[in-house]
Chain A
């Protein structure tokens, strides 16, 4: 691997459950590109993200390497992978304020309260929610929570974005808005992203390559 190998590379990644091969992927995802993985529920598409993120249930048997910007993620513990994940639910930490959630995500290497506060404020503005700093996450609407979750994951300076059906629980209008926001941010920041979904509209909006699993057991 050389420094020019920017992006995410899935090298012979295979996941099996109870002896059944769920998926088999070798793919490159370029910076800013969104690879969509489609499949019915139970096809194991979420387990691909769990494997990349480093929190796959040991019931699954997985092999293969995941390389981000030349760095092999699969040899690192989850917290060193910087694989930012967005789930169906925003999963904002309910005991922290909105800005608490954001400050928690900013890497500790960035020092100085002022600087960190400033970053958090910028991130809020970036998702159109300025002045939401002190709000209790539970008082936000579903769409607002989703945007805070996006701002949070981007602040952590991820190497890649893992999107686990993050739009499926939003209503129709918000869903389109949120898709645009997520994909434009990924492009803007040059983040390779993997989107797992069973909604064809998600795949269309992502505009990237699509692989299907669970239909003939492999891609």
Chain B
């Protein structure tokens, strides 16, 4: 499909463009920044004591000192900050060593196929899966017991919810590895990986060292914002922390939400001040990371200039392969265990499987599932559809103006992923409550859209930009209007990419916890909020059902995104994958 460079990028010059695409970029920028700015303002004011609804009209710093005097607040903050940095460092190290050690090999392609689907698994479902896998009464303990361990009862050790938050970090790492791997893979095609490998090998460098010295700085430049997003997410995550994280004390974000939902409304001041603390904690984590970047770059330069070849790197490469594979397998195994629990009858420790299977759990849960399921579907479908249309408008406009992909527009896309959710969702919730629109479908769709839009755009922009625009030139030459060209030529040809981007958006929406919890005000609930709410109860059969639905919904989205173009164009060979 690709033509030569000289003719591959023709463009309209005469007509100035239709009106609709013009509103795309401003609308997208407004969507990505205004709710966040308004939300931040709505959080800062109560933090400073200003909340007229609760008769707070006088500005004070009292609530900040209150927050800092909460028991264990320092520990909560440090756990959050360390989790942010450590999650990013470990997942990035694994991805880096894996890509450096294996790119271009068959193992690389296989792992890529293994890991990619995991991106669509909601964090909460993956966290539950991990918990059911490694808990003292989890699958691993059951398989090893009583034969190897001698346990006939689950041992009384704290694996899940360990005080240092190690299990929480492990859960986050297993989910962030697929994310970082995919953004790295997206950056690779623009680099000459195979040639560089040959060149560095000819100079006597080991595979990993050659990649790290010659290519990694270029890769990292492109994925840096994604790494920042991982830090921001891991340092402020609520659902994974509530499921796997410590409770004495809990990570900061979990405590914020508890304060926010406290029946004592005056706790909202403290929650808001805490959200500002969260902002500082995430900023601190990012600052530490940036310092680490400097140190890492300096060390790399030192090693590079010393001409060290690092030829014995097979052990490192194998460790990376082992880690990335086991992270993926852990999620898959966890999901399988969730399914088993959802249909488990009696299942005593240490039996590896239930003694009988039953649909009774499902029958009993179904009546309560219907409403959240419906909300999940409607909100995910609407937000994915709106984000897809908006992304297309932006990309059409980008094609008309030829101003694309500059670092500022990329930054705007990442804003919702870099600001801790609690810091602006608290304020946004107040705004919605103030206008009487909280717990309305529209407000919920809008809140989801903020997080769905970046992923949809990032997913669609690469295939959209890679499109051979000579097809459009041909169509215009045939006398076809711009809209006819868009709807009858470009969109059908890109249908698979468009539907995949929509499926990504759908999956992101299904997985949203905090926006749903806050903007839904507990009255509009989704599968994800219901599942996380069940976490403390510990009814594994019900959790299994909800978590199973959580992972099946995104999967269904991707199946539809694959099937529809395949069926529609079943007689068109060039349209097959």
Contacts and interface: CB of A to CB of B under 8 A. Distances in A.
A57 interface: yes
Contact of B14 (A78, A82, A95, A107): A78
A44 to B, nearest CB: 9
Interface string B6-27: 1101111111000000000000
A50 B573 contact: no
A82 B477 contact: yes
Nearest to A161: B477
B478 interface: yes
B14 to A, nearest CB: 5
Contacts of A94: 1, 493, 572, 574-575
A132 interface: no
Contact of A42 (B6, B11, B481, B493): B6
Interface in A53-112: 53-59, 74-85, 87-89, 91, 93-97, 104-105, 107
Contacts of A137: 572, 574
Given A57-B11, A58-B11, A79 B481 contact: yes
A95 B573 contact: no
A79 B479 contact: yes
Nearest to A49: B7
15 contacts: A47-B6, A54-B14, A55-B11, A56-B10, A77-B14, A78-B477, A82-B479, A83-B477, A87-B473, A88-B7, A93-B493, A94-B572, A94-B575, A95-B495, A164-B7
Interface stretch (A23-31, A121-129, A152-160, A171-179): A152-160
A108 to B, nearest CB: 9
What 9 A-B pairs have minimum CB-CB distances, sorted nearest first? Answer: A77-B15, A55-B10, A94-B574, A78-B476, A138-B574, A138-B573, A156-B478, A85-B477, A77-B14
Interface of B is mostly: loop
Interface in B474-516: 474-482, 485, 488-489, 492-493, 495
B470 A79 contact: no
B347 interface: no
Interface in A137-168: 137-139, 152-153, 156-158, 162, 164
A22 B169 CA distance: 59
B119 to A, nearest CB: 28
A77 B400 CA distance: 13
Interface string B457-484: 0000000000011111111111111100
Nearest to B488: A104
A75 B15 CA distance: 9
A56 B11 contact: yes
Contacts of A156: 477-479
A79 B3 contact: no
B310 interface: no
A85 B3 contact: no
A46 B5 CA distance: 11
A133 interface: no
Given A138-B574, A153-B478, 8 more contacts: A50-B10, A57-B9, A77-B482, A84-B477, A85-B474, A87-B3, A87-B473, A95-B493
Contacts of B489: 93
Q: Which of A82, A93, A156 has the most CB of B within 10 A?
A: A93
A114 interface: no
A41 interface: yes
Contacts of A11: none
Contacts of A58: 11, 13, 402
Contacts of B475: 104
Given A95-B569, A152-B478, A156-B477, A78 B15 contact: yes
B3 A153 contact: no
Contacts of B3: 87-89
A156 B478 CA distance: 5
Given A77-B14, A95-B572, A138-B572, A55 B476 contact: yes
A117 B571 CA distance: 20
A136 interface: yes
Contacts of A88: 3-4, 7
Contacts of A80: 479
Contacts of A46: 6-7
Interface of B: 1, 3-4, 6-7, 9-15, 402, 468-482, 485, 488-489, 492-493, 495, 569, 571-575
A97 B1 CA distance: 17
A179 B318 CA distance: 58
Contacts of A79: 15, 476, 479-482, 485
B12 A54 contact: yes
B493 A158 contact: no
Nearest to B565: A95
B11 A136 contact: no
Contacts of A53: 10, 473, 476-477
Interface in A13-51: 41-42, 46-47, 50
A84 B469 CA distance: 15
A50 B7 contact: yes
A42 B470 CA distance: 18
A4 to B, nearest CB: 25
B478 A105 contact: yes
B13 A104 contact: no
Contacts of B493: 93-95
Nearest to B477: A85
Contact of A78 (B468, B473, B488, B492): B473
A82 B10 CA distance: 16
A91 B474 contact: yes
A200 B9 CA distance: 26
B492 to A, nearest CB: 5
B471 A54 contact: no
A84 B182 CA distance: 41
B470 A91 contact: yes
Nearest to A107: B479
Given A85-B474, A87-B474, A89-B3, A55 B572 contact: no
A91 B471 contact: yes
Contacts of B469: 55
Nearest to A86: B474
A54 B4 contact: no
Nearest to A139: B573
A79 B10 CA distance: 14
A152 B479 CA distance: 12
A156 B572 CA distance: 24
A6 to B, nearest CB: 20
A77 B11 CA distance: 11
B408 to A, nearest CB: 20
Contact of B471 (A41, A93, A158): A93
A95 B492 contact: yes
B100 to A, nearest CB: 36
Given A87-B470, A89-B470, A153-B477, A78 B12 contact: yes
A88 B473 CA distance: 13
A56 B573 CA distance: 31
Nearest to B6: A46
